[in-house]
Amino acid sequence: MEENKNLAKMLERERIPYRKNLNLKNITYSSTGNNVDYYIQPISKQQLVLLIQELNKLKIKFLICGGTTNLLFLDFIDYGCIVNTSLLSDFSIDESGITVSSGVELSKFVRLCLIHGCIGFEGLEGIPGSIGGAVFQNAGAYGYLISDLIVRVRCCDYNGNLFTLTKENCDFKKRSSIFQSKDYIILDIEFKIKKGDIHQAEKKIEMFHIARHSYQEWVYPNLGSVFVTDTNVYDSFSKKNILYKIILFMIKLISNNPIYKRWFRKSPSNKLKNLATQKLITDKISPHIYSHKSINTFTNRNNKSIDIVKYYFEMFLHLGDDAKLENEIVFSSISRIINKPDYDEFNSIISKNEKIKNKIK
CATH 3.30.43.10 for the 1-87+327-361 domain, yes or no: yes
d(CA 220, CA 209): 18
Where do the structural domains in the chain lie, given as residue ranges?
A: 1-87+327-361, 91-212, 221-325
Q: How far apart are CA 261 and CA 102, in angstroms?
A: 39
User: What residues are paired with 184 via a beta bridge?
Assistant: 157
When pLDDT is cut at 50, 70 and 90, the band that residue 27 belongs to is very high
- Strands 77-84 and 35-40 turn out to be parallel
Let me know: does 77 contact 338? Beta carbons within 8 Å.
Answer: yes
CA 327 to chain centre: 6
d(CA 132, CA 156): 13
The pLDDT value recorded for residue 2 is 60
- C-alpha closest to that of 345 among 302, 295, 294, 308: 308
334 phi and psi, to 5 degrees? -75, 130
- How do residues 276-296 score in pLDDT, each as one tens digit? 999 999 988 988 999 999 999
Report pLDDT for 3: 66
Query: Would strands 328-330 and 71-73 be described as parallel, antiparallel, or unpaired?
Result: parallel
pLDDT reported for residue 334? 94
- Amino acid residing at 304: K
pTM: 0.91
- Give the confidence band of 1 by pLDDT, cuts at 50, 70, 90: low
CA-CA distance, 323 to 315, in Å (whole number)? 9
Question: Taking a C-beta distance cutoff of 8 angstroms, is the pair 111, 92 a contact?
Answer: no
User: Which of 67, 73, 216 is closest to 134 using CA atoms?
Assistant: 67
How long a stretch of residues is the chain?
A: 361
Dump pLDDT digits (tens) for 220-236: 999 999 999 988 999 99
280 burial type by CB count under 10 A (0-12 exposed, 13-18 middle, 19+ buried): middle
Tell me the per-residue pLDDT of 67-114, one tens digit each, with 9 for 90 and over. 999 999 999 999 999 999 999 999 999 988 999 999 999 999 999 999
For 204, other C-beta atoms within 10 Å of its C-beta total 18
Same topology between domain 1-87+327-361 and domain 91-212: no
- In three-state form (DSSP H/G/I as H, E/B as E, the rest C), the secondary structure along the chain is CHHHHHHHHHHHHHCCCEEEEEEHHHCCCCCCCCEEEEEECCCCHHHHHHHHHHHHHCCCCCEEECCCCCEEECCCEEEEEEEECCCCCCEEEECCEEEEECCCEHHHHHHHHHHCCCCCCHHHCCCCCEHHHHHHHCCEECCEECCCCEEEEEEEECCCCEEEEEHHHHCCECCECHHHCCCEEEEEEEECCCCCCHHHHHHHHHHHHHHHHHHCCCCCCCCCCCEECCCCHHHHHHCCCHHHHHHHHHHHHHHCCHHHHHHCCCCCCCHHHHHHHHHHCCCCCCCCCEECCEEEEECCCCCCHHHHHHHHHHHHHHCCCCCEECCEEECCCEEEECCHHHHHHHHHHHHHCHHHHCCEC
The answer to whether residues 88 and 45 touch, using CB atoms and an 8 Å cutoff, is yes
pLDDT at 266 over 80: no
- Beta bridge mates, 99: 92, 190
Beta strand pairing call for 140-141 and 144-145: antiparallel
Mean pLDDT of the chain, nearest integer: 92
Kindly state the average pLDDT of the residues 111-135: 92
Q: Give 91-212's CATH code, choosing from 3.40.50.300, 1.10.3720.10, 3.40.50.720, 3.30.465.10.
A: 3.30.465.10
Q: What is the pLDDT of residue 80?
A: 95
pLDDT digits 0-9 by tens, 140-163: 888 899 999 999 999 999 999 999
